[in-house]
């Protein structure tokens, strides 16, 4: 086992050697797959999801399965969601528009013909879209450092013979070599100056200004399929539980382009995809001590994900030497890994104030234990190291949701709500790179929290209900092109990787239809 650390202005760039080259999953990947957004029926979303103490809606089972016990009739729901995401970085705005099915649910009601004890027993099945990853982002800026420095620094100590193909030898099959080193060396972004020592082309030309253009798009989703059951005890205590199967599909395509002072250029394209299935168990209850008050609480186990990830990359360079240029093009093969991710445990508490037939007020609090996340892989030798990183750099989150529904007439409902979630990552958090990692996507972003503002309207005619909601959701983060870790064997002077503000605004319009019978 060897350890290589590259420092940038007193910060560390940590690289760990492992048993074989793999596209290792990190805490930033796990956070993407574990975090969720406000999704579901239009009624639920219009009040900001603040219904964990109120129940009576198919999407409340997402937070508190005890809400199934509130039902006094059977119901079917269907919800359609159209959303457009505007992402701004360094003054550049990108938009992406898409639509999807956000909820399908069925609740079955069985009246046990009693007033005491178990009054009714209910059963439900539901599909919910928990998160959409879809967005585009791009930016351009000038800076005084180059990706070639990172590639050179992370290759120090590696024999150049191990970086190039020869008869009977493929460097991509060498379990001790990172693919970024192979791509960087073979495309001449850095050169060897002595045995196992390298310098970047940027340093060879005396540095200067660098102009870069970065574009990335993310696609995918997290879905849940839930089977729920629960009941009503004496019209005071409502309980429920949900057995949830989760499915996630995430893909990233990133293009990094830079031009140096001598007109040399580097274009690095990265492709990454992760597909996973998981299981979650949820348990909750609602208590009605008096007619106008509801008290709710629920507990969600971590989601136990099995994730298969795949990646490949290519690099195109034009390198000027002695006044002449040469073009290089290198593409890696595709590599895959299977990892196991435990998402945060969640605990939720809520209060509901029922205003007779005129509406309600809901207040929710949610705690998520991000410092308890786990990432494991049978191919990785340092699961303990990743656990320590999660403990030191992740933050447990706190979410507050508030929603109000007012009925000016019996058939019409007016709704408004909102919520805020604290950051799940440390402001100074950094990404871990392994020195035999096949991934070359260096970027990461530290979450700065999110909030949403919601509104909607509903109209009920007999057994039928139509609801419409609008959600304005803002996610904030600091985006880094490369990691800025903290102690060093190799020092790159005058290099500080500054973050870029990343702001994503997602607008959603949701239409739901429900029928009770």
Dump pLDDT digits (tens) for 366-418: 999 999 999 887 665 556 778 888 888 899 999 999 999 999 999 999 999 99
Return d(Cα 431, Cα 159) in angstroms, integer: 25
Average of per-residue pLDDT across 9-31: 57
Q: In what order do the strands lie in the sheet with 490-492?
A: 433-434, 11-16, 3-8, 490-492
Return d(Cα 256, Cα 181) in angstroms, integer: 16
Residue 348: predicted pLDDT: 97
Dump pLDDT digits (tens) for 422-456: 999 988 787 877 778 888 888 899 999 999 999 99
Tokens of 191: 């050169």
Dump pLDDT digits (tens) for 256-277: 999 999 999 999 999 999 999 9
Residue 494: predicted pLDDT: 56
- DSSP designation for 344: P
pLDDT of 61 > 60? The answer is yes
Residue 449: predicted pLDDT: 94
Average of per-residue pLDDT across 215-242: 96
Residue 9: predicted pLDDT: 31
Between 294 and 3, the higher pLDDT residue: 294
Dump pLDDT digits (tens) for 277-321: 999 999 999 999 999 999 999 999 999 999 999 999 999 999 999
Residue 392: predicted pLDDT: 86
Domain count, the chain: 1
pLDDT of 489 > 50? The answer is no
pLDDT of 19 > 60? The answer is no
Average of per-residue pLDDT across 324-350: 93
CATH number at residue 426: 2.40.160.60
Tokens of 415: 């709704």
Residue 13: predicted pLDDT: 37
Per the structure, the complete domain to which residue 493 belongs is given by 3-516
pLDDT of 168 > 80? The answer is yes
């Amino acid at each position: 086992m060897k350890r290589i650390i590259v420092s940038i202005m007193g910060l560390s760039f940590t690289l760990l050697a492992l048993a074989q080259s793999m596209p290792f999953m990190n805490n930033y990947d796990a956070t993407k797959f574990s975090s969720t957004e406000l999704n579901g029926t239009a009624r639920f979303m219009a009040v900001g999801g603040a219904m964990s103490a109120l129940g009576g809606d198919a999407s409340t089972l997402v937070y508190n399965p005890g809400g199934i016990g509130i039902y006094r009739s059977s119901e079917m729901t269907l919800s359609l969601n159209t959303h457009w995401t505007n992402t701004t970085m360094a003054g550049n705005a990108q938009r992406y528009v898409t639509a999807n099915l956000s909820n399908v649910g069925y609740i079955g009601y069985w009246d046990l013909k009693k007033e005491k004890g178990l009054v009714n027993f209910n059963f439900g099945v539901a599909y919910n879209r928990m998160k959409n990853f879809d967005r585009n982002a791009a930016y351009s800026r000038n800076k005084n450092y180059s990706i070639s420095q990172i590639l050179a620094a992370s290759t120090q100590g590696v024999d150049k013979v191990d970086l190039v193909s020869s008869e009977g030898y493929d460097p991509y099959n060498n379990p001790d070599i990172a693919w970024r080193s192979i791509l960087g060396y073979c495309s001449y972004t850095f050169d060897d100056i002595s045995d196992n020592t390298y310098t970047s082309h940027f340093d060879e030309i005396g540095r200067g200004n660098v102009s870069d253009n970065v574009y990335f798009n993310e696609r995918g989703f997290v879905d849940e399929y839930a089977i729920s059951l629960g009941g009503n005890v004496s019209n005071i205590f409502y309980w429920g539980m949900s057995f949830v199967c989760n499915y996630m599909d995430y893909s990233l395509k990133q293009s990094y382009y830079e031009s140096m002072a001598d007109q040399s250029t580097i274009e690095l394209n990265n492709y990454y995809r992760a597909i996973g299935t998981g299981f979650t168990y949820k348990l909750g209850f609602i208590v009605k001590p008096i007619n106008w008050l509801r008290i709710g609480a629920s507990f969600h186990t971590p989601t136990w994900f099995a994730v298969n990830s795949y990646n490949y990359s290519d690099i195109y360079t034009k390198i000027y030497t002695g006044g002449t240029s040469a073009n290089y093009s290198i593409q890696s093969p595709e590599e895959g890994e299977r990892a196991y991710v435990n998402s945060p445990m969640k605990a939720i508490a809520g209060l509901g104030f029922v205003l007779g037939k005129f509406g309600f007020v809901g207040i929710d609090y949610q705690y998520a234990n991000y410092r308890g996340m786990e990432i494991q892989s049978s191919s990785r030798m340092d699961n303990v190291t990743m656990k320590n990183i999660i403990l030191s750099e992740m933050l447990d989150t706190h979410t507050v949701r508030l929603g109000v529904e007012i009925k000016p007439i019996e058939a019409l409902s007016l709704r408004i709500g909102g919520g805020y979630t604290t950051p799940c990552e440390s402001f100074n958090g950094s990404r871990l790179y392994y020195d035999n990692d096949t991934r070359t996507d260096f970027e990461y972003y530290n979450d700065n929290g999110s909030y949403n503002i919601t509104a909607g309207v509903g109209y009920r005619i007999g057994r039928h209900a139509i609801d419409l909601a609008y959600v304005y959701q803002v996610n904030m983060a600091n985006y880094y092109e490369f990691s800025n870790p903290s102690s060093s064997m190799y020092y790159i002077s005058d290099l500080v990787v500054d973050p870029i503000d990343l702001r994503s605004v997602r607008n959603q319009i949701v239409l739901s239809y429900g029928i009770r019978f």
